[in-house]
């Protein structure tokens, strides 16, 4: 737990507390350790009173962060950053809007906008396939990565065959799949 001493932050916190006091049942506040007369007095503060109170050294306002929820939040942030990295990577390396929708549930318009933002031109039509020997290598690599999720699998495939765009790699992987025709 640490004490908030910055005036503007204290003002924001106090304004929030006063607003919450208007909404929370008195029993909940009593259980939190706030005295009944304090509740009544705080509820009657107007904006200028809150501002003056925030400028005073007291009341002491302390902030506590829950260790477990901080860890959860940091994990979620790492996941979001990974997803954002992969989205950018896939778009930069030629993933089609259809592929982006399947792997990231990204709308076609979002894919097109991101492509445009990155200065990339859209390609139309089915991409040309590499030579049969390379396609066989791609299929073998793809099969060996079957334990990975689709995003990670395509990412690893592209790292192994960086000379090919994602739309080409996808066309190779699905060349025998009737549902892709």
Q: Mean pLDDT, consecutive 10-residue segments, the chain of 181 residues?
A: 90 90 78 83 91 92 91 97 97 95 95 90 84 97 97 98 97 81 49
18 backbone dihedrals φ, ψ, rounded to 5°: -60, -45
* In a domain? residue 124: no
Query: What is the pLDDT, as a whole number, of residue 35?
Result: 86
40 backbone dihedrals φ, ψ, rounded to 5°: -60, -45
Query: What is the pLDDT, as a whole number, of residue 140?
Result: 97
* In a domain? residue 13: yes
Per-residue DSSP letter, 176: T
- Tell me how many helices (H) and strands (E) the chain has: 10, 2
Query: What is the pLDDT, as a whole number, of residue 170?
Result: 96
* In a domain? residue 45: yes
* In a domain? residue 70: no
* In a domain? residue 68: no
46 backbone dihedrals φ, ψ, rounded to 5°: -95, 180
| Torsion on CA atoms 160, 165, 167, 173, rounded to nearest 10 | -20
**Domain coverage including residue 150:** 132-180
Query: What is the pLDDT, as a whole number, of residue 152?
Result: 97
Q: Specify the number of domains making up the chain.
A: 2
CB 65 within 8 Å of CB 72: no
* In a domain? residue 8: yes
Query: What is the pLDDT, as a whole number, of residue 179?
Result: 55
Q: Report d(CA 19, CA 26) in Å as an integer.
A: 14
Query: What is the pLDDT, as a whole number, of residue 125?
Result: 79
**Of 39, 63, 87, which residue constitutes the final position of a domain?**
63
* In a domain? residue 164: yes
Report H helices in the chain.
7-23, 26-31, 36-43, 47-55, 67-92, 97-104, 108-117, 132-144, 150-160, 166-173
Query: What is the pLDDT, as a whole number, of residue 33?
Result: 80
* In a domain? residue 81: no
Q: Report d(CA 141, CA 119) in Å as an integer.
A: 31
* β-strand pairing of 2-4 with 61-63: antiparallel
**Per-residue pLDDT tens over the stretch 119-159:** 888 777 788 899 999 999 999 999 999 999 999 999 999 99
49 backbone dihedrals φ, ψ, rounded to 5°: -65, -40
**Of 63, 82, 100, which residue constitutes the final position of a domain?**
63
Judged by DSSP in three states, 8 sits in helix
């Amino acid at each position: 737990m640490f004490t908030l001493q910055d005036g503007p932050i204290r003002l924001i916190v106090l304004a929030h507390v006063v607003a919450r006091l208007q909404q929370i049942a008195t029993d909940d506040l009593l259980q939190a350790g706030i005295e009944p007369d304090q509740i009544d007095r705080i509820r009657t503060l107007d904006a200028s009173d809150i501002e003056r109170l925030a400028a005073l050294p007291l009341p002491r306002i302390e902030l506590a962060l829950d260790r477990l929820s901080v860890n959860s939040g940091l994990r979620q942030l790492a996941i979001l950053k990974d997803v954002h990295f992969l989205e950018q990577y896939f778009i930069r390396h030629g993933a089609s809007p259809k592929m982006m929708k399947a792997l990231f549930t990204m709308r076609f318009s979002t894919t097109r906008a991101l492509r445009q933002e990155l200065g990339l031109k859209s390609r139309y039509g089915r991409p040309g396939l590499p030579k049969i020997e390379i396609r066989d290598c791609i299929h073998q690599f793809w099969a060996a990565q079957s334990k990975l999720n689709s995003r990670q699998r395509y990412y690893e495939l592209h790292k192994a065959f960086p000379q090919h765009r994602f739309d080409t790699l996808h066309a190779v992987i699905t060349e025998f799949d009737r549902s892709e025709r």
